[in-house]
Every structure is written in structure tokens, then in C-alpha cells.
């Protein structure tokens, strides 16, 4: 467990190994809270309320479906690939 020093103006540096695992990059927004005698840092994403994200997702998804159909990829193929990807991600989160 890396130790960090609290610097001037109460600033701390998040060690690179933790930033990489948490996908935190320069300029990102994080939420910080104190709970159970620990400081918890949670990466956050801020989105534009004026964007209809559901519609944008559906638009992208329709392009993916069209490309998958042309490539002969079935819904079952996608389900199998997603399950395999989730297993890989779960294993890498515990490494």
C-alpha cells in the first residue's frame, strides 16, 4: 500500500498504479468522502444534460447491429462475447 504525503494546500498525489487501475487521468473529476475511518475517492463523469444519451446510444447501436448482421454475427455470438469479456474484466479487477 503506497504512502502519500499531504502537501501545501492539503494536496495529495494519487500513486500512478492506483490511478491506472481506477482509470483516473489528469483533469478528471473525483468524488471524495470520509466513511468508516477511510477516505474514499470515486471517479465521476460529468455529462451534458442537453444531450439525449439514450437516443445517441440507440443510434450507435443500430449501426453496430447493421454491421453485425452483414458480418454474420448472431445475437448468441454477442452474448457469448460479452460474458467472456465480463469474466476477463472481473479477473483483472482482482489482480
> H-helix or E-strand containing 95?
none
Q: Residue 40 maps to which CATH number?
A: 2.10.260
Look at the chain and report how many structural domains it folds into: 2
pTM beyond 0.85, yes or no = no
Q: Which of 40, 45, 44 is nearest to 14 (CA)?
A: 40
Cα–Cα distance between 24 and 20 in angstroms, integer? 6
The boundaries of the domain holding residue 58 are: 53-93
Write down the pLDDT at residue 95. Answer: 57
Write down the pLDDT at residue 1. Answer: 79
Write down the pLDDT at residue 15. Answer: 94
Same domain membership, residue 58 and residue 35 = no
Quick: pLDDT tens for 27-48: 999 999 999 999 999 999 888 8
Amino acid at each position: 500500500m503506497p504512502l502519500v504525503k499531504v502537501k501545501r494546500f492539503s494536496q495529495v498525489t494519487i500513486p500512478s498504479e492506483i490511478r491506472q487501475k481506477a482509470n483516473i487521468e489528469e483533469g478528471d473529476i473525483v468524488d471524495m468522502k470520509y466513511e468508516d475511518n477511510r477516505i474514499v475517492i470515486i471517479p465521476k463523469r460529468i455529462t451534458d444534460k442537453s444531450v439525449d444519451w439514450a437516443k445517441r446510444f440507440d443510434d450507435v447501436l443500430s449501426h453496430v447491429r447493421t454491421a453485425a448482421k452483414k458480418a454474420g454475427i448472431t445475437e448468441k455470438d454477442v452474448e457469448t462475447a460479452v460474458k467472456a469479456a465480463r469474466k476477463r474484466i472481473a479477473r483483472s479487477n482482482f489482480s
